Amino acid sequence: MRVGTLLERFWRQPPTREGRNEQRKALASLFNAAAITLLVTGFFGPWINPVLEATLSPGERAILVLMAGVTHAIARAVLWSLEDRA
């Protein structure tokens, strides 16, 4: 199998509305999982792993929480692009 045809399987759009919506939902889930990871790391990281207390300053933790918000907003934007039934 050629590398080009293998990569095309990941980038091509499904022919149906339902297929495209499912791809968008999967992408939104990926962004939302990243947002949850950033949020948990920013809020609870030093309590879960005390070694992080020395490596994550309060400013860096705040940046992680803000990045979680931005990542969640991206997930919502992906969901807003779902196609309605015709």
Q: What is the pLDDT of residues 11-23, one digit of tens each?
A: 777 788 898 899 9
Domain extent, residue 36, equals: 16-80
Contact 45, 56 (CB under 8 A): yes
Contact 40, 49 (CB under 8 A): no
3 in a structural domain: no
Rounded to two decimals, the pTM is: 0.79
45 in a structural domain: yes
C-alpha angle 79-31-77 in degrees, rounded to nearest 5: 30
Contact 20, 14 (CB under 8 A): yes
Give 28: exposed, middle or buried? Use CB within 10 Å, 0-12, 13-18, 19+. buried
44 in a structural domain: yes
At 12 the pLDDT is 76
11 in a structural domain: no
pLDDT at 40 exceeding the cut of 80: yes
Of residues 42 and 85, more confidence is placed in 42
85 in a structural domain: no
